[in-house]
Amino acid sequence: MKGKEIIKRSGGITLIALVITIIVLLILAGVTIATLTGDNGLLSKAATAKNTSTEVKVIEKIKLAYQDYYLGQHTNPGYTFQNAVDKMFGEGVATVTESNDVYKVTFTNGKKYTFNALTKEVAELEEIWTQNETTVTNTKTGQVLEVGDTVYYDSGVAAYEGIGDNQGKWGILGAEDGKLLIMSKQHVGTVELNEKEGCINGSTLLNNACSSFKNSSYADSARSVKVEDINRITGFDDIPSPAENTHSFTLVNGKVSKDGKVPSRWPSTVFEDINGKTLPDDSPILVTGNYYTYKLEEKISERSKSYNLLYAPRYWLNSPYTQVFEGSAMWGFLTVTDFVTSDDGMWYSDGFGNSISNGVRAVVSLKFNIKLSGSSSTGWTISE
């Protein structure tokens, strides 16, 4: 009897132990799976580490590409940063654009990076603000702004507070590289560009006139307005093709010949390009024109907020141009007048020159973390 009881108890204990063992194994399996697959799991961490490693490699490759470009252009003047990026990542993998010493590298997978040629820093672009002509949208919050909306912005420049109803008021200009742009509703000053030197150094002079309007609490940078800012609003994209606007000038028997023809009404015996290179007999200089103009009211309504923001007495655009004529070429900067873009040449290839003064409009690029409260009707207030 006792033996039977012992056997029964022994079988009971074994069954309980087996159940407990299974439960423990299931718990351990659950913990293991969670450890591997959770938000902070090993697999997630491994994927993050891999992505981080890939990110670091891309950043380092962009830096190396710039070094290659910087060294290569000294031996090959035609070598560009785009050429160096193609060599580093493969042709067609990324597109390079440049503005004010900052290069934007856009990859076919949608990733975008900026490389600052002055600081040598690379940063990934986060497209928070996007622009569709006169509409600007925050992709994270869904907030929608209209170009020309009033923004109350304290630039910190006591000498410029706006005049009358425009005191302290700036306007929504658009979005660039995922950041929100605002523009002064009035000229912040004037800049005179003098002949050849004015053309060569014009971009720096215009940006310097606007740099003090950067309020470090809210803004990343301040610069002069460009024609690209206006084109984003109007949707204008009929930009002249370099292939169709490159012309060869040659001095033939003391007269300037363009594309093999010597125009009789241009008797000039000297042709000098923007870098001061004088054209010798039978030695060609290639000049590419990029000049264009269009009327603002042909693209946006004269009763719109965007028109009221952009249209003002003559002011500079920080956009140099080259205009090619029959027997000469002219270099200068675009302006806004009754046309969106108009030519104001400081230096002519036939020896004549001008010194011209125009107004300046400041553009401020706001930080990613700024917030706007208010409405399109009452205006927007900036906060961090």
**Per-residue pLDDT tens for 12-25?**
557 777 777 777 77
Q: Are 227 and 299 in contact (CB under 8 A)?
A: no
Cα Rg, the chain, nearest whole Å: 31
Check residue 229 and give its pLDDT: 95
Structure-model confidence comparison of residues 344 and 61, the more confident one: 61
Instruction: Identify the bridge partners of residue 288 per DSSP, sorted by sequence position.
Output: 246
Q: Give pLDDT, residue 144.
A: 93
pLDDT of res. 38 = 57
The answer, yes or no, to whether residue 72 has pLDDT greater than 90, is no
Percent of the chain residues topping a pLDDT of 70: 82
User: Mean pLDDT of all residues in the chain?
Assistant: 81
Residue position matching structure tokens 């363009």: 258
The residue that leads in pLDDT, 315 or 159, is 315
- For 2, 18, 25, 29, 79, the CA distances from 15, given in Å and listed in that order, are 20, 5, 15, 21, 79
Query: For position 53, what pLDDT does the model report?
Result: 64
Q: Which one of 51-60, 154-163, 362-371 scores highest in mean pLDDT?
A: 362-371
Asked if pLDDT for residue 44 goes beyond 60, the answer is: no
What does DSSP assign to residue 212? G
Distance separating alpha carbons of residues 168 and 170, to the nearest angstrom = 7
pLDDT at 158: 66
